[in-house]
Amino acid sequence: MNLKNTMFILVIVVFLLQMVVMKQDAAIALKEEKIVLKKTIALSTFPLYDIAKNIAKDKLQTYMILPAGVDVHSYEPNPKDIVKLHKSALVVYSGAELEPWISHLNFKNKTIDMSKHVELINLDALSHKEHTHHDDSCKHGSFDPHYWLSVDNMILATKQITGAIIELDLQNKDFYLNNQKEYLQSLKTLDALYKSTLATCQINEIITNHNAFSYLGQSYGFEILSLSALSPEAQVNAKSMVRLIEHIKEHNTSTLFYESFASSKAINSVAKEANVKIEVLQPLANITADEQKQNVSYEDIMKQNLVKLKQAMHCQ
């Protein structure tokens, strides 16, 4: 065999080896992608994420779509976020028009609109006292999207998410069902604590910068007065502020609330004029960066809220 033929054969062998390696790499990459798709669950808001994290634990990967510290009303996913969403085996979002960006995406894997599996408050049915403004500045649909502040809705959401997780990983069904049992028990204990704590309050209302707490009020028998409606960025007019200041003085209100991700400017002005203090009440759609570092849970924040509600409504 001459040198020319030998070189030709070597080139062919090298080419074939490269093809084999490329094919193996492609197979490995495909396998890895399938593993990622199988194991990853994306959840849009903190309460939904808290459920999935406690049910799946280390068996599946769970992540919250909202970055910590970002207001749920203003979040828009970037291209990297969208790629990650499309690779997730399951995407669970709140619905009820809380995430308008979701309607622009077409997912190839399973999605759950959780608002379709819980009991929603119809905004038209809210009393005028609870929902002060229902006009063009109030950016929402027909239903209040803050349904996770109802423990009963969290129970419904837990069962829905557990069922979806079992569909992804049937071999660990008993593990997930045991975790569901523990999580549901913690929710029921939390509900009992709220009922017992708020059963003896001298005041049956709270005042907030905007009304994100109707589900709490409905569950535990107190009313919500707010400067604005469901949109934390809604403009507050002077007439509303004056009327609220008069109400505060008349009813000896001691505390006004604003939420973690909203401006406190308007409520601060009211508090200063009425000579009352202000406190943060966490609506729980998302958590702050500090809360994330502390690894707080839904239960933790609900208990923190309860302490503040107890003080504000002068409960025994």
14-42 pLDDT, tens digit each? 555 555 544 554 444 444 444 444 589 99
Helix (H) or strand (E) holding 83: helix 79-87
Average pLDDT, the chain: 85
- Distances from the Cα of 7 to the Cα of 15, 97, 196, angstroms: 12, 67, 87
pLDDT tens figures, 251-283: 889 999 988 777 778 888 888 888 999 999 999
pLDDT tens figures, 158-213: 999 999 999 999 999 999 999 999 999 999 999 999 999 999 999 999 999 888 99
**Is 144 within 8 Å of 133 (Cβ atoms)?**
no
**Is 292 within 8 Å of 262 (Cβ atoms)?**
no
What is the pTM assigned to this prediction? 0.82
Domain 200-312 has CATH 3.40.50.1980: yes
Predicted pLDDT at 37 = 46
Sheet harboring 223-228: ordered strands across? 223-228, 205-210, 255-258, 277-280
- Per-residue tokens: 141: 């649909």
pLDDT tens figures, 201-257: 999 999 998 889 999 999 999 999 988 654 445 556 677 788 888 888 888 899 999
Q: How far is Cα 114 from Cα 16, in angstroms, rounded to an integer?
A: 52
CA nearest 301: which of 44, 58, 68?
A: 68
Q: How far is Cα 218 from Cα 200, in angstroms, rounded to an integer?
A: 16
**Is 81 within 8 Å of 65 (Cβ atoms)?**
yes
Predicted pLDDT at 31 = 46
